[in-house]
Amino acid sequence: MGVDSRTAVCCYGGVIAAGSTSVSFPLLLDSSGLARSGSTVCEGTGVARQDVIDEVLYLRSAGLDLGKRFLLACVRVPNPKRQGTWSLETERFGTTPAEVRRLLAWLTERRVELVVMEATSDYWRPVYYTLQESLNLMLVNPAHLKGIRGRKSDPNDAAFLARAGASGMVMASFVPPRAVRELRDLTRRRTEVVVARGQEAQRLEKELEDTGMKLTSVLSDVTGLSSRRILDALIGGERGPQALAELSFGAARKKIPALVEALDGTFTDHHAFMCRHYLDQIDHLNTVLAALDARIAKLMGDHDQDIENLDTMPGIGRRAAEIIIAETGGDMAPFASAANLASWIGVCPGMNESAGVAKSGHIRDGNRNLKRVLGVAAMAAIKQKGSYYGVYYRRLAARRGRQRALVAVMHKLATAIWHVLHDKVKHKDLGADYFAKRDPERAMRRMVREANALGMTVRFDPIPAAA
């Protein structure tokens, strides 16, 4: 590894220990950029020695520690005066467009090969977007870079980012192109508006409970056609339960006797004002949703086939398919395999092992928008009759619990999404008999055990082929 002149190390028997004097650890840089240590033999120690090769991917790297008002940039380059050591140059810049352009010129002048920055809040966005066209950037997860306690400072953070990027210690985050980022903004905003509309409907229902009326006990949708006609009449001054119940429409007319009983309450002018306010808010949000849907549909023109293929998956409709396209870009090139996509979403189990003991490994945060979609889709998929996902869920829930089984189904759906988008094919359900066909003998043994438990025997004979 590259060690600067302020670090003293001693290497013996494969153990690296801190020293007390300021020396440099000699490293030789070959033409490929690899830092290699010399090979030594320890005689009489009984310790097998091995050459240590520290891979330096970039000789000239930079780290950016971002803040709201300013950032610190640190450039790390080989020290020309002392082989195997590194020189650090730190500079402070503002975050205004002019200062970011000055940063770009400063980094270009120093011929930096890689620039590493943390995804700090949203402060990284204007800096990243300005530098990405001219420099090789790497955006990393702050959770992967926790500094040593007691040595936390902005210059140290910038220097550590430069060193981590040069030696390949960190992985780059997925930053989609501008068109995909715009789609993300639209679909995420639409999700927020849908949630807000649901909250307004809940407030409307709470206001009706204050009147003593049990409208939602008879009509489940407080914003449906029959409910809106009844509410508009209440706000307009109608108070007769029978007259209000007669305003119901379609299948709700079968519930008129129940509605007459449920609409017997005290509806005051204050309730009328509040209900009108909530209904106006719901109407406004519906208008916003219609505008967002139109804008998203316009930008999704190139992904019609992908949306159609995703729509064949259980629990995934058009809106869910649009969210999947917006979050992943519809292109599986950044994800080498289905496992990579599942890990990025955050639906695969973590690993937490110490001293040979495997501890509980919780799933990581990942992409919360896709995780929400997969959770809803998984709950719908396990309820479908004849579905592979339902059988898989029940098999796993019996051993590991329902919550773990649901996450496992989400993982299966993520795998299916990768194949649908990567291979450009429709989804094909494996069927409820998949496990029985995969291992027929195991299925027969299970049936024999169940028959024996009932005090009976069972014999299996092959069905003759149809003539």
Summarised one tens digit per residue, pLDDT across range 298-310 is: 998 888 899 999 9
Are 89 and 24 within one domain?
A: no
pLDDT at 161: 84
For residue 406, give both structure tokens. Answer: 């649901």
Q: Is residue 133 within 8 Å of 87, Cβ to Cβ? A: no
Range of the domain at 247: 179-299
Nearby residues of 309 by Cβ (< 8 Å), 6 or more positions away: 420, 421, 424, 425, 426, 427
The reply to whether 418 falls in a domain is yes
pLDDT at 191 over 90: yes
pLDDT at 24 over 50: no
**At which of 118, 137, 166 does a domain end?**
166
Give the count of domains, the chain: 4
For residue 251, give both structure tokens. Answer: 């299948």
Are 267 and 334 within one domain?
A: no
% pLDDT > 90, the chain? 38
Query: Which range is least confidently modeled, 155-169, 264-278, 413-427?
Result: 155-169
Torsion angles phi and psi, residue 22, rounded to 5: -85, 100
Query: Which range is least confidently modeled, 53-67, 228-242, 254-268, 324-338?
Result: 53-67
Are 147 and 210 within one domain?
A: no
Are 21 and 78 within one domain?
A: no
Are 392 and 295 within one domain?
A: no
3-state secondary structure of 447: helix
Task: Please choose, from the candidates 210, 121, 119, the residue with its C-alpha nearest in 3D space to the C-alpha of residue 161.
Answer: 119
Q: Is residue 64 within 8 Å of 117, Cβ to Cβ? A: yes
Tokens 């009489």 locate to 44
Please tell me the pTM assigned to this model: 0.76
298 Cα distance to chain centroid: 25
Task: Please choose, from the candidates 113, 166, 114, 152, the residue with its C-alpha nearest in 3D space to the C-alpha of residue 4.
Answer: 166
pLDDT tier for residue 51 given thresholds of 50, 70 and 90: low
Are 114 and 49 within one domain?
A: no
How long, in residues, is the chain?
Answer: 467
pLDDT at 17 over 80: no
The reply to whether 129 falls in a domain is yes
Average pLDDT of the residues in 437-450: 86
pLDDT at 15 over 80: no
Express the helix, strand and coil content of the chain in percent, nearest 5 each. Answer: 50, 10, 40
The reply to whether 100 falls in a domain is yes
The reply to whether 194 falls in a domain is yes
pLDDT at 181 over 50: yes
Are 295 and 191 within one domain?
A: yes
Are 43 and 134 within one domain?
A: no
Q: How far apart are CA 4 and CA 86, in angstroms?
A: 5
Q: Is residue 374 within 8 Å of 345, Cβ to Cβ? A: yes
The reply to whether 458 falls in a domain is no
pLDDT at 204: 94
Q: Which amino acid is at 124?
A: W
Are 105 and 189 within one domain?
A: no
The reply to whether 439 falls in a domain is no
Q: Is residue 193 within 8 Å of 292, Cβ to Cβ? A: yes
Are 186 and 152 within one domain?
A: no
User: Does 164 or 307 have the greater pLDDT score?
Assistant: 307
The reply to whether 250 falls in a domain is yes
The reply to whether 318 falls in a domain is yes
% pLDDT > 70, the chain? 86
pLDDT tier for residue 10 given thresholds of 50, 70 and 90: very low
pLDDT at 434: 87
pLDDT at 170: 79
H runs (alpha helix) in 119-177: 124-131, 154-166
pLDDT at 37: 42
Are 328 and 414 within one domain?
A: yes
Which CATH number does the domain housing residue 137 bear? Answer: 3.30.420.10
Are 161 and 187 within one domain?
A: no
Q: How far apart are CA 428 and CA 59, in angstroms?
A: 49
Q: How far apart are CA 122 and CA 175, in angstroms?
A: 13
pLDDT at 30: 42
